[in-house]
Structure 1
Amino acid sequence: MSTTCTHLDTVEVTQLPAAVAGCADCLEIGGRWVHLRMCQACGRIGCCDSSPNRHASAHARREQHPIARSAEPGEDWSWCYVDDVAFVLTES
């Protein structure tokens, strides 16, 4: 496990959308989710690894988009699936 994320150059999307309906894949299949994550490369909303379908990490692997941020109200942390590390993005 790394102590820093080495994939910050992949971040394209930092702001959550105004409204989050839920996990895009779960909404399509009638699934359920526990917590939501937003891909910071493309903005796709997926469910966390505590959810039955783990769509956020599946998207990260499939699309090679390594970083997702929490899409939960009041949370501002991000997770790098490759480096296995959580962090908070700061504006420079």
Structure 2
Amino acid sequence: MICQHLKESGEPAPQTAYEQGCPQCVAGGFDDWVHLRLCLGCGLVACCDSSPRRHMSAHHAEAGHPVMRSFEPGETWRWCFDDEQLG
């Protein structure tokens, strides 16, 4: 059964373009992110948990936005941090 967070998640416009990479990594002088994720609560683009700094998980911990999706070309899967559910 799909959790309520995944059912209710929207699709905000990304705050940054894919080609620019993880904004927090770039601002820190890093270019070693692995994949990008899009917060479906606010549109923040950040790096995944396979990346050294795990900015999307940090964003979830700070902001509490429960759902993100892959921001990789051709991928549309979503993840709910609160319920640890793929959707």
Give the TM bin, normalised by the shorter chain: 0.7 to 0.9
Q: Tell me the residue number matched to 2:44.
A: 44
CA distance 1:82–1:73, shift in 2 (3 Å): same
* TM-score when normalising by structure 2: 0.83
Offset of residue 4 of structure 1: 2.5
Q: State how 1:63-78 maps to structure 2 within 5 Å.
A: 63-78=63-78
Q: For 1:4, give the aligned amino acid.
A: I
Q: 1:13 aligns with which of 8, 11, 22?
A: 11
Which runs of 5 or more residues in structure 2 are unaligned?
Answer: none
- Aligned-partner Cα distance in 1 for 2:33–2:63: 21
* TM-score when normalising by structure 1: 0.79
- Aligned-partner Cα distance in 1 for 2:55–2:16: 21
Q: For 2:5, give the aligned amino acid.
A: H
- Identical aligned residues as a percent: 46
Q: Tell me the residue number matched to 2:22.
A: 23
Q: Tell me the residue number matched to 1:90.
A: none
Alpha carbons 1:12, 1:42 under 8 Å: kept: no
- Aligned-partner Cα distance in 1 for 2:35–2:3: 22
Alpha carbons 2:14, 2:45 under 8 Å: kept: no
- Aligned-partner Cα distance in 2 for 1:86–1:69: 9
Write out the 4+ residue segments of structure 1 that deviate beyond 4 Å after TM superposition: 14-18
